[in-house]
Amino acid sequence: MKYYFYRSPLFKVYATVEEGYVRMHTSGVASKLLMPVVSGFFDMFEGSKVAKVMDDQLIFSTWMPPIPSKAFERLVKSQMGAMRGKFVPEQVTISITEECPNNCLHCALPDTKNKASLPLEIIKSAIDQCLDLGSTFIIFDGGEPLLYEGLEELISYVDREKAITGMFTSGVGFTHEKALSLKAAGLDMLSVSLDSANEKGHDSMRGRVGVFRDAMNTIRYSLDAGLLVNIYVVLSPLNIHELEDFYNLSTKMGVHEISFFEIVPTGRWIDHEKDVLTKEDLKKFDDFVKWANKQEGPRIFSIPHVLRKLGCFAGRKWIHITPQGDVNPCACMPLVVGNIYQEKISDIWKKLRSNPEFNAGPCLMLNDKFRSKYILNNLE
């Protein structure tokens, strides 16, 4: 089966899947001429595991539109635009509410007295504006988005010709009926947060007894309902020793993908400049990724490796909208660029893109000079 990434009379790019791994191909009279242009694109996919193979579509990753699809065509278009220096907010996370029963040690949202939520119509307007800019992935976040009344309405509102939808959850109060409801609304990806592969460690990190069981039930119910499921792990010095445990648990549960993000000093972790991964930790993680990619379990999405290769996506490919309507370059960067109650997102995006800091360098939240200039000074 050929899964086409791009197709024209002169040049075609497509993938085949062999024993669960992607093999990239080109054809057409312009192949030799255009191969140098798409070589970086090839490197991203060639030899990688896939999340799911279907009869007519390939789910390379739970973070990416199906191949082929109208939304994926838009993503390819945005990638080609980025090569020319024209960037769009491909991935938008919207924290629709601050309400949450957990008290996570590393929550990216700063503590506030009043738990804010964005009105339904304001979120719909933000979705429309982001889709107009070229976004291809709309993610609903919190707090805990399951506590937001109207969640399914927001999910079904997103135009699937333009973008896919995702949601981060801890699984609080999740039921089989909720999984079916989210599936019926059109949710494309459910990402379940996990901070430890064992119950005691996860509950301790999340500040609530029972949240590990909630997460496990959420995974089971969601898979039974036919949802694409990703386990999302924020790697820190507290859980770096559990890498194989995370993978073995993910394999046992049968999820489609397990994603790893490197912790940064932000939110409740803002003062933990030294509590980040060391060079030894990163080496351990590198070795783990090489090992895991050879196993028969789920696809690994290593965000640190992607950002190391392609540069930080904050303000280039990502934006984040807070429950107060503030727009940040990413969910981990509390730098307010504008507010959706006061400005158009297109104007905020132009303002953000005019800042030379967002130039594909390493993660800015791990840069002491950037944090001192833009983050810590603003918190005083």
Q: What digits encode the pLDDT tens for the residues 281-324?
A: 999 999 999 999 999 999 999 999 999 888 999 999 999 999 99
For residue 348, give both structure tokens.
Answer: 């905020």
In tens, the pLDDT along 4-61 reads 988 888 899 999 999 889 999 999 998 888 888 777 777 888 899 999 998 889 999 9
Which pTM does this prediction carry? 0.94
CA 275 to chain centre: 23
What is the rounded average pLDDT for all residues in the chain? Answer: 93
- Say if residues 379 and 270 touch (Cβ distance below 8 Å): yes
Residues counted in the chain: 380
Helix ranges (H only) for 147-278 are 151-157, 176-185, 199-206, 211-224, 243-253
Q: How far apart are CA 318 and CA 94, in angstroms?
A: 11
pLDDT at 113: 66
pLDDT at 93: 98
**Rg from Cα positions in the chain:** 20
For residue 294, give both structure tokens.
Answer: 């050879």
- Say if residues 224 and 262 touch (Cβ distance below 8 Å): no
pLDDT at 320: 98
Residue 366's closest CA among 336, 332, 322?
Answer: 332
Mean pLDDT (whole number) for 157-182: 97
DSSP H/E element including 231: strand 229-235
Mean pLDDT (whole number) for 348-359: 94
pLDDT band at 378 (very low <50, low <70, confident <90, very high): low
- Say if residues 324 and 280 touch (Cβ distance below 8 Å): no
Q: How far apart are CA 263 and CA 253, in angstroms?
A: 24
Give Cα separations from 186 to 28, 135, 155, 228 (angstroms). Answer: 36, 17, 6, 11
pLDDT at 65 over 60: yes
pLDDT at 111 over 70: no
Percent of the chain with pLDDT over 90: 77
The residue assigned the tokens 């995370």 is 246
